Structures are given as structure tokens and as C-alpha cells.
């Protein structure tokens, strides 16, 4: 627990990106995205369009979702071009 004495004057935050400590994944209510690797063309649009940086990419290739931060908005699933008409991201019911 942070007390007022721990906060630098002027409400300056010295640690860049400290919001990462807040796991917004708990906001997901009904749905969570599911990645289907065989339909993925690694276009990385989901990485770009994700408001919560929850799509991990390594060396230009897509990796699994980061469910710690994903709020389940579904933009990735809607925008996914997929392969031969089959989506690489679908929304499925959230399991708690």
C-alpha cells in the first residue's frame, strides 16, 4: 500500500509504464478471444488494432494472447482477415 509520503512532490511518476501492474484482464465479462493458429496469416493487424497491447509478437510472428490485459472488446476478431474465409481469431465464452 502506497502512502502519501511515498509519492514524489507534484505527483510526478518516476517509473515509466507502471500501469502494467494493473491487470485489466479481470474486466473481461462475457467473451474472450481465441487464436486459431492454422488460420493465421501473421498479418499483425490484431497486434496493431489491439487497444490493450494484448497480442504478443516475436520476430514478426504472432504469438498467444496476453489474457492478463485483454478486456475482451473483440476488435481483433472483427478485423481478422483469416485464411480462405476462416477467421484466425474468434470470440468464445469466458471461463472464470
User: What is the full DSSP assignment across 23-57?
Assistant: -GGGG--SEEEEE-GGG-----HHHHH-TT--EEE
- Binder of other proteins out of 32, 40, 77, 88 (CB under 8 A): 77
Binding track over 13-42 against other proteins, x by CB under 8 A: x-xxxxxxxxxx--xx--------------
Q: State the cell numbers at 38.
A: 492454422
Cβ 59 to other proteins shortest distance, Å: 8
CA dist 11 and 64 (Å) reads 36
CA dist 24 and 77 (Å) reads 19
Cβ 85 to other proteins shortest distance, Å: 18
Asked whether position 93 contacts other proteins by CB under 8 A, the answer is no
Cβ 38 to other proteins shortest distance, Å: 20
Taking the least distance from each CB to other proteins, the nearer of 74 and 82 is 74
CA dist 73 and 51 (Å) reads 9
Cβ 73 to other proteins shortest distance, Å: 3
Amino acid at each position: 500500500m502506497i502512502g502519501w509520503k511515498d509519492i514524489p512532490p507534484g505527483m510526478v511518476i518516476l517509473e515509466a509504464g507502471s500501469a502494467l501492474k494493473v491487470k485489466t484482464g479481470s474486466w473481461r465479462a462475457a467473451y474472450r478471444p481465441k487464436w486459431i493458429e492454422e488460420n493465421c496469416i501473421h498479418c499483425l493487424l490484431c497486434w496493431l488494432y489491439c487497444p490493450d497491447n494484448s497480442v504478443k509478437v516475436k520476430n514478426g510472428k504472432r504469438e498467444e494472447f496476453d489474457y492478463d490485459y485483454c478486456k475482451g472488446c473483440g476488435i481483433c476478431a472483427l478485423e481478422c482477415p483469416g485464411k480462405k474465409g476462416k477467421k484466425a481469431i474468434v470470440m468464445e465464452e469466458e471461463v472464470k
